[in-house]
């Protein structure tokens, strides 16, 4: 059985149970404080096989989102029928209500025994990005198991969470558990293309019903192992904020011409110079962010000298640590708004000088900045009035959720992670550099946390960045 998927399911199960549950056969008051220890330490072989096969089956359904409003609707409908078949107890339990929202998204309302407790929400999404066959070692929707890994689009993003949450709930229900605190499960069908038909509609529905949430858990942070040479144990990052985003199209209009008599400057040349300036002039370093410093200081307590001394004295060594983080493209994304040129379009014929050149740049906005600030900085860096700026879509970073001792959602996640994976001593707050459906739910709670219980090793990140374009695999 692929170990990270078991870990996803175990964390989901312990989180559901740890928040407060009562047995159907016991006095409610007597069971008020039962905790995660009631979860069996091992799943049966039959259950492990069922988990694995359920995930494989989910991967085999090509729930692709192509663009906003353009989905594989046949596959989305099939997926809805699939989860009904795989999780029959979830759908037939009297205290669980299921609703289809936006036709293909799913909202589960699980009513707890104590209505005085504020409910929480678990998020995941069923859609995946397109998967051209080229670049895959196996067919992208095969769900093939090889050498302890299950391959396919959605194994990491995000059907592992979808199936883990539902399977955890199914197993708890078959063990006669009833939640003390009510909760929701929201499964969006268009997260990969902005979430306007799924998560946004679910959020509006909950708001119309007057729902306010204690906290939300979505995909985001991971467990990291081997990233710091002197740190022998893995550590977990729970993202307490999420970067914003701007998709910005730059356009240059010039008089068309023929390559035999070229002008001094062309639309392509002007635009190429503009995007080159953007690439060569990074956005300001925001290392002063207190949450990044808090994470580094937590790590310092597990490190040996001189690293521990440096990280425990960022008031003195902050500039040094900041420069070190800038040098690596992975940690650089944590200290600033990133700039990525993703599309460039110009020209239709080798001997024709095109009148128009266009480029699309994606900025991932650091929580300490705003859309407007980044736009103004981009214009000042380009510094050429011939370059037009068109904002395709944009949204500000999400507010930073609390991670102190009074933050219910964060502390429950921390306790759950360390309960399921005892070797983890450090659970620290961080920033999600990607974008998730959680941004549509800021009207319902101030506590939004992002965590995926998957262990990543240093060599995995480069492979993971390639896999998210070409392929995905979840394994032991």
Q: Please report, for residues 51, 72, 108, 430, 467, the alpha-carbon distance to residue 437 in angstroms, rounded to integers and kept in the order given.
A: 25, 19, 16, 17, 21
Per-residue pLDDT for 15 more than 90?
no
Contact predicate 163/58, CB 8 Å: yes
Question: 338-346 and 257-258 as β-strands: parallel, antiparallel, unpaired?
Answer: unpaired
Using alpha carbons, select from 432, 374, 399 the residue that is nearest to residue 243. 432
Roughly how many angstroms between the first and final C-alpha of the chain, as a whole number? 7
Which residue, 103, 108, 55, is CA-closest to 76? 103
Above 90 in pLDDT, residue 345?
yes
Token duo for residue 123: 């998020």
Task: Examine the pLDDT at 244 and tell me if it is beyond 70.
Answer: yes
| Active-site residue set | 127, 191
> Is residue 33 predicted with pLDDT exceeding 90?
no
For the segment 418-455, what is each residue's pLDDT rounded down to a tens digit? 999 999 999 999 999 999 999 999 999 999 999 999 88
Per the model's pLDDT, the better-predicted residue between 460 and 190 turns out to be 190
Residue ranges of the alpha helices (H) in 42-87? 45-59, 73-86
pLDDT of residue 254: 96
pLDDT of residue 278: 98
Higher-pLDDT residue of 466 and 82 is: 82
Backbone angles phi, psi at 472, to 5 degrees: -135, 150
How buried is residue 422: exposed, middle or buried, by Cβ count under 10 Å (0-12/13-18/19+)?
Answer: exposed
**The pLDDT of residue 22 is above 60:** no
Summarize pLDDT for 157-212 with one digit per residue, the tens: 999 999 999 999 999 999 898 999 999 999 999 999 999 999 999 999 999 999 99
Of 238, 239, 229, the closest CA to residue 302 belongs to 229
Q: What average pLDDT does the chain have?
A: 89
Q: What's the pTM value of the predicted model, to 2 decimals?
A: 0.89
Q: Which residue has the higher pLDDT, 293 or 39?
A: 293
> How confident is the model at residue 27, as a pLDDT?
40
pLDDT given for residue 42 in this prediction: 66
Q: Are 392 and 360 in contact (CB under 8 A)?
A: yes
For 296-324, how does the pLDDT look when each residue is reduced to its tens digit (9 = 90+)? 999 998 888 888 999 999 999 999 999 99
Q: What is the pLDDT of residue 14?
A: 66
pLDDT (mean) for 18-32: 42
Residue 446 · residue 4 · CB < 8 Å: no
Say yes or no to pLDDT of 463 above 60: no
pLDDT tens digit sequence for 126-144? 999 999 888 788 999 999 9
Band of residue 289 on the pLDDT scale cut at 50, 70, 90: confident
- CA 258 to chain CA centroid, nearest Å: 48
Q: Percent of the chain scored above 90 by pLDDT?
A: 76
Mean pLDDT, residues 15-37: 45
Angle, in degrees to the nearest 10, between helices 3-18 and 159-174: 50
H-run or E-run covering 329? helix 329-335
């Amino acid at each position: 059985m692929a170990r990270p998927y078991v870990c996803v399911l175990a964390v989901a199960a312990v989180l559901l149970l740890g928040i407060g549950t009562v047995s159907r056969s016991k006095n409610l008051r007597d069971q008020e404080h039962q905790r995660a220890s009631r979860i069996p330490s091992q799943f049966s072989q039959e259950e492990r096989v069922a988990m694995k096969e359920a995930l494989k089956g989910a991967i085999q359904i090509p729930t692709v989102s192509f663009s906003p409003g353009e989905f594989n609707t046949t596959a989305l409908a099939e997926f809805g029928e699939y989860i009904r078949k795989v999780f029959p107890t979830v759908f037939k339990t009297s205290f669980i209500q299921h609703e289809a929202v936006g036709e293909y998204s799913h909202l589960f309302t699980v009513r707890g025994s104590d209505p005085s407790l504020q409910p929480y929400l678990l998020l995941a999404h069923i859609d995946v990005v397109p998967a051209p066959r080229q670049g895959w070692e196996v067919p992208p929707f095969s769900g093939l198991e090889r050498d302890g890994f299950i391959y396919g689009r959605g194994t990491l993003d995000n059907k592992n969470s979808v199936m883990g949450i539902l399977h955890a709930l199914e197993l708890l229900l078959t063990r006669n558990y009833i939640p003390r605190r009510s909760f929701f499960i929201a499964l969006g069908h268009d997260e990969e293309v902005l979430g306007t038909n799924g998560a946004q509609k679910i959020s509006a529905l909950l708001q119309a019903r007057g729902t306010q949430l204690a906290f939300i858990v979505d995909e985001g942070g991971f467990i990291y192992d081997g990233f710091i040479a002197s740190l022998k144990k893995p550590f977990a990052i729970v993202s307490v904020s999420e970067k914003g985003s701007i998709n910005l199209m730059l356009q240059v209009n010039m008089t068309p011409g023929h390559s035999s008599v070229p002008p001094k400057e062309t639309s392509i040349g002007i635009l190429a110079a503009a995007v080159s300036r953007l690439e060569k002039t990074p956005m300001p370093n925001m290392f002063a962010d207190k949450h990044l410093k808090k994470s580094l200081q937590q790590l310092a307590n597990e490190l040996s000298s001189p690293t521990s001394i440096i990280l425990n004295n960022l008031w003195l060594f902050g500039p040094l640590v900041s420069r070190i983080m800038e040098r690596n493209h992975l940690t650089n994304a944590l200290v600033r708004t990133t700039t990525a040129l993703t599309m460039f379009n110009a020209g239709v014929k080798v001997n024709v000088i095109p009148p128009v050149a266009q480029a699309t740049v994606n900025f991932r906005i650091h929580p300490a900045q705003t859309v407007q600030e980044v736009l103004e900085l981009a214009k000042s860096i380009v510094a050429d009035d011939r370059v037009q700026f068109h904002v395709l879509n944009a949204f500000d970073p999400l507010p930073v959720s609390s991670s102190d001792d009074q933050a219910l959602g964060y502390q429950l996640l921390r306790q759950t992670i360390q309960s399921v994976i005892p070797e983890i001593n450090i659970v620290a707050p961080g920033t999600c550099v990607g974008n998730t459906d959680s941004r549509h739910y800021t009207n319902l709670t101030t506590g939004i946390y992002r965590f995926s219980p998957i262990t990543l090793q240093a060599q995995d990140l480069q492979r993971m960045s390639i896999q998210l374009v070409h392929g995905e695999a979840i394994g032991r």
